């Protein structure tokens, strides 16, 4: 399960739209029905209107008619990047869609 979530999040990260920060983020979700959904960060010049990868993945899940998350895995940045939770996701969405959240740096498996 973890490896599949990681692979899907990495693909989603490659599809991120981040022309301003150049910090690409991808997320993958595993639902209680054992379905996977992915999302990518989508930047806006104002940054306050940027859609984080977690919210993008949740939007895909909700659009498909699902509501219960088991796990979210998020990858971001380059090999030297540091990843923090999106504030909008952490404070508003996580409470609504409770899940186990894993944040992974892209080089995590190279070092361990």
Instruction: Phi first, then psi: give them for residue 39, nearest 5 degrees.
Output: -155, 155
Active site residue 54: yes
Given a contact cutoff of 8 angstroms between Cβ atoms, the answer to whether 52 and 25 are in contact is yes
- How far is 29 from 72, CA to CA, in rounded Å? 4
Given a contact cutoff of 8 angstroms between Cβ atoms, the answer to whether 35 and 67 are in contact is no
Q: From the candidates 3, 43, 54, 66, which is the catalytic residue?
A: 54
Catalytically active residues are 54
């Amino acid at each position: 399960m973890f490896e599949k979530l990681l692979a899907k999040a990495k693909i989603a990260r490659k599809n991120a739209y981040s022309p301003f920060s150049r910090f690409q983020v991808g997320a993958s979700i595993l639902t209680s029905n054992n379905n996977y959904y992915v999302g990518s960060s989508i930047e806006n010049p104002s940054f306050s209107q940027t859609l984080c990868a977690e919210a993008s993945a949740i939007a895909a899940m909700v659009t498909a008619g699902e509501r219960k998350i088991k796990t979210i895995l998020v990858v971001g940045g380059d090999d030297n990047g540091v990843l923090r939770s999106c504030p909008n996701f952490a404070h508003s969405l996580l409470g609504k869609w409770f899940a186990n959240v894993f944040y992974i740096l892209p080089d995590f498996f190279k070092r361990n």
